[in-house]
Amino acid sequence: FQQSGLSGNVVFPSSVTTVGGNIVRGCTSPTLSLSFENGCKLSSLQKESFYGAPLSGTITLGASLTSIPDRAFGRITGTYSIVFETGSQLQSIGHSAFAQASTQTDGGLSGNLVLPASLLTISDSAFFNQGTFSLSFESGSQLTSIGDGAFQQSGLSGNVVFPSSVTTVGGNIVR
């Protein structure tokens, strides 16, 4: 879909297991909503899968996804929220995975982001320069590591209580 005017709702069927890199890069539509069917078997995203996409609405990530790679949702130009399907197996969020919204006040991540209990690592700059959103962790969180600048220059709202399982915290995580 690169360089296209694709707009509206794009729903990936439950049969999709892998999404390649840069599939919507350069897409010119101001509104593109992306989701994955319930029961999605998505287990792999490649680096920069949705980099620079004009996404809006809710992005639902399937339970079988184990990793969100570097810049997978970097430089999104719309306002969006992320929901993890019940029973998520997500273990890692890569470097700059959701970094650099178009502008912190006019776009980017919004709503309440609830990170799944299975998550072990949030890499450097994962949510750098994002919109205004609240952050919480599922009960029983296994998170152990938060990288440098993970939430730097983001509009985190409300109280954030990091899980007691965290053993390593990088510098400037919320500066």
Mark 4-15 as b/e (b = at least 16 C-beta within 10 Å).
eeeeeebeeeee
34: closest CA among 18, 52, 12, 15?
12
Q: Would you give per-residue pLDDT tens digits along the chain (175 residues)?
A: 555 556 667 777 878 878 888 776 655 555 566 666 766 677 778 888 888 777 777 777 888 889 999 999 888 877 788 888 899 999 999 999 999 875 545 578 889 999 999 999 999 999 999 888 999 999 999 999 999 999 999 889 999 999 999 999 999 998 7
User: Taking the CA of residue 88 as centre, how many other CA atoms within 13 Å lie in the half-sphere pointing to its CB?
Assistant: 28
21: closest CA among 41, 50, 44?
50
